[in-house]
Amino acid sequence: MIVGRHAISGDILELTVSDGRIAAVKELDGATGEDLPWLAPGLVDLQVNGWGGHDFNSADIDEETVYAVARGLREQGVRAFLPTVITASQETICNALSVIAGARRKHAWLAGMIPGIHVEGPFISPQDGARGAHPRDHVREPSCEEFDQWRKASGNLVKLVTLCPATEGADAFIRHARARGCLVSIGHSAADTADIAMAAQAGAGFSTHLGNGIASTLPRHPNLLWAQLANSRLQAMFIADGHHVDRETLTAMMRAKGVERSMLVSDMVALAGMAPGRYRQPIGGDVELSADGRLAMVGMATLAGAATPLADGVALAASLEGFSLGDAVTMAAVNPARALGLETGFVEGAAADFIAFHWAPGDRHLRLCETTLAAGLPASPKKTSGK
C-alpha cells in the first residue's frame, strides 16, 4: 500500500498495488497529508532525442540505445515517451525507425514505454533560425511516399510528425498522415498566419516546442507565435527548462493556451544525464553543459539542445505565477497521454503507472521517492515515506 496526496485533486489516497496494477483505491477522508508524498500519473514525454550519451539520431544507433534511454527515463518518472528522430537522409531515418521498432518488439516493458515515434523534420523550413540545429542538406519538401516508407520501416509506429506548413505539398501531406492515424505538429517553421490556419484546417493539431525553432526576430504582429497561440485547434508543447523559453514568456504563453491545451516536453538530447562539463560533438563543435542543465555552444549564447528531465520541467511550471502543481502534472502527464490515446489516472484495475515524490513551492526538482511503473522492470529500490 502507498498513501499520498493526489497531485491534481489534493485528495489523500491509499493505493494498493498488486502484479503491476492498481488493486484498490481508497480515499482517506479527514486525513492530513503535509508529510506524505505527492502521487501523480507517470509522465509522458512526446519529444526525446536521447539521454546519457545515447542518441536516437546517431549513425550507429542500436537496440542498446533504445534500452538505455528507456531505462533512464523510467528512473525519472516517465511512463511513456516518443523517441524522436530528426532531419536526416531517408535511409538514416528509416534505419533509426527500424532499430527502435525492433527493440520494442523484443520486450513488453519497452512496448509499453514506447507507444510510437516522433519524426521531427525533414519537412521543415530551410531558413536559418527556423531550421534550428537540423542539417540544411537534408531539409526537403513533404513527401507522402516517404512517410509511407517510414511507416513500413517502423511497423506503423510513426505517431507524430513535425513539419513547417509553409512548404510545397504540406496540405496534402497533413491530410495523408492524419488519414493514417498519425498526429501532425507545426515546428521549425517560417510559416505565416494563413499557412498555420491551413495546416490546422487540414488536421495539424500541435505546435512543437512553441517559442523555439523560429527566427530570432519577428514582426510585432502578425507573426507565427500569435497565430499558433490564438488557434484553438492547436495544442502547444513547451520546453520548460528555464533556458529555451524564459519564465515570463513561458507564463504568458501557457496562460494564452490554457492548461487544457498545453503540454510539457523535455526535448532531451544525448548529453542529458551526463556530468557538467565540456564535450565535443561530431557535428557543430564543442559544447558546454552547465550544472543547471543549460547546454550551449562554447563561447556562444546559442543553445545546443535540451538536457533537463521532464520532471524538472514540472517543478518549474508549478512555480510560475498562476499555475499549480496540479496544472504542471496535467501538462506533463495527463494531456500528452490523452493525445496518444493512453489511459491515465488512479482507477482500480488500471496499470500502476504512477509516481510518488516530494515537492514544495520553490523546489527546482521533484524528489522522486518511488516509481511504480507497470513495465516489467524492477521498481526503484527507494522506499516511499507514508507507506
State the average pLDDT over residues 62-79: 95
With a pLDDT cut of 90, the percent of the chain lying above it is 84
pLDDT at residue 280, as a whole number: 86
- How many residues appear in the chain? 387
Q: Higher pLDDT residue, 72 or 32?
A: 72
Least confident of 32-46, 79-93, 320-334: 32-46
Report whether pLDDT(95) > 60.
yes
| Tens-place pLDDT, residues 308-351 | 999 999 999 999 999 999 999 999 999 999 999 999 889 999 98
pLDDT band (50, 70, 90) for residue 376 = very low
Predicted pLDDT at 284: 64
How would residue 378 be classed by pLDDT, with cut points 50, 70 and 90? very low
- Average per-residue pLDDT for the chain: 92
Name the active-site residue from 45, 55, 195, 267: 267
> Is pLDDT above 70 for 385?
no
Lowest mean pLDDT across 60-64, 105-109, 249-253, 339-343: 105-109
Q: 44 CB contacts (<8 Å, ≥6 apart)?
A: 78, 79, 80, 81, 332, 333, 336, 337, 340, 342, 344
What's the mean pLDDT in 9-31? 91
Please choose, from the candidates 107, 1, 79, 157, the residue with its C-alpha nearest in 3D space to the C-alpha of residue 351: 79
Radius of gyration of the chain (CA): 20
Whether residue 195 lies in the annotated active site: no
pTM, whole model, 2 decimals?
Answer: 0.94
384 or 87: whose pLDDT is higher?
Answer: 87
Which pLDDT does position 133 carry in this prediction? Answer: 85
Q: Determine the Cα–Cα distance for residues 265 and 244; give it in Å rounded to an integer.
A: 12
pLDDT at 309: 97
Q: What is the predicted pLDDT for the residue at 59?
A: 92
Asked if 99 and 91 touch (Cβ cutoff 8 Å), the reply is no
- CA–CA distance, 55 with 267 (Å, rounded to integer): 12
Look at residue 357 and tell me whether its pLDDT is greater than 90. yes
Residue 20 has pLDDT above 90, yes or no: no
Helix 247-257 crosses helix 310-318 at what angle (to 10 degrees)? 80
Residue 152 in contact with residue 202, Cβ under 8 Å? no
Burial class from Cβ neighbours inside 10 Å (0-12, 13-18, 19+) for residue 36 reads buried
- The span from the CA of 45 to the CA of 257, in Å, is 19
> Which of 343, 280, 335 minimizes the C-alpha distance to 310?
335
Distance CA 272, CA 29 (A): 41
pLDDT of amino acid 370: 67
pLDDT digits (tens, 9 = 90+) for 125-149: 999 989 988 999 999 999 999 999 9
pLDDT tens-place string over residues 164-183: 999 999 999 999 999 999 99
Greatest mean pLDDT range, 102-111, 114-123, 303-312: 114-123
pLDDT beyond 90 at 32: no
Largest CA distance in the chain: 63
